[in-house]
Amino acid sequence: MAADMRRRRKEIIMSIQIRKADERGHANHGWLESFHTFSFANYYDPSHMGFRSLRVINDDTVAGGGGFGTHPHRDMEIITYVLSGALEHRDSLGNGAVMKSGDVQHITAGTGVQHSEFNYSPIEPVHFLQIWILPDQKSLTPGYEQKSFTNELKSGRLNLVAAGTPRDGALKIHQDADLFIGKLGAGDKVTHELKPNRHAWLQVAEGAVNLNGHDLKTGDGVAVNDEKLLTLTGKEPSQVLLFDLN
């Protein structure tokens, strides 16, 4: 019986692997403070190169007046979600917009696109998550979408914001993946069922939650394999991103 319990504990550990916030890569350039869940730029960790098709989660705070000058991307699905402040976007496709809290932006870099991102405020910081997902094919035609989900992001539920098969107003991405954003108050509980051969990544953007018995805080990430049901409980006002991946 003891051997069976040890085996079960090992299976639980392998099916839910926690990436603690303070284990992430970190860069502070003065105008930019960035935390890297996976290897990015000068931060390289061969054991954290991504998860399934999820390649990058950068937690960025840009000081007032700061930003990223025009730079290129290709063959990547790029999703940006603003947590607070305002972020100004311009790209080589002719798009220009200011993103605010609750806005989600998606760029298909495809054959190549250039863009810039600057804090719209000269004083207040802007805090956002930038996510890269590997596309299901290369050399796609570049594209751009942006949508406010402020009205949809109500406390106590998971809201689909991007999907390979879009529905419920979600943005379309070129990969078999769903991205949900959830806002939870203290005591709120939500569940998500993973279909066979599906995997999940949970990123805690703000606050503290419990996932299937594991306490998590701001900046923590979790790789989930071989779990049928995910149960999330808010321990305080929180915001999470849940990726359902092939």
User: In the prediction, which pLDDT does 14 show?
Assistant: 60
Q: What is the pLDDT of residue 30?
A: 97
Per-residue pLDDT of the chain (246 residues), as tens digits, is 444 444 444 444 469 999 999 999 999 999 999 999 999 999 999 999 999 999 999 999 999 999 999 999 999 999 999 999 999 999 999 999 999 999 999 999 999 999 999 999 999 999 999 999 999 999 999 999 999 999 999 899 999 999 999 999 999 999 999 999 999 999 999 999 999 999 999 999 999 999 999 999 999 999 999 999 999 999 999 999 999 999
Please say whether the beta carbons of 101 and 128 come within 8 A.
Answer: no
Q: What would the pLDDT profile of 176-205 be if each residue is shown by its tens digit?
A: 999 999 999 999 999 999 999 999 999 999
What pLDDT is stored for residue 37 in this prediction?
98
Q: What confidence score (pLDDT) does residue 5 get?
A: 44
pTM of the predicted model as reported, rounded to 2 decimal places: 0.93
- pLDDT tens by residue, 53-85: 999 999 999 999 999 999 999 999 999 999 999
Q: Rounded to whole angstroms, how far apart are CA atoms 231 and 223?
A: 14
Domain boundaries, the chain: 16-245
What's the pLDDT score for residue 6?
Answer: 46
Produce one character per residue of 196-235: b if its CB has 16 or more CB atoms within 10 Å, e if not. Answer: eebbbbbbbbbbbbebbeeebbbbbbbbbeebeebebbbb
Per-residue pLDDT, 23:
98
Sign of CA dihedral 124, 182, 16, 199: negative
Measured CA to CA, the distance from residue 183 to residue 55 in angstroms comes to 24
Q: What is the pLDDT of residue 39?
A: 98
Half-sphere exposure of 137 (CA within 13 A, CB side): 5
- CA R_g for the chain: 18
CATH H superfamily, domain 16-245: Jelly Rolls (2.60.120.10)
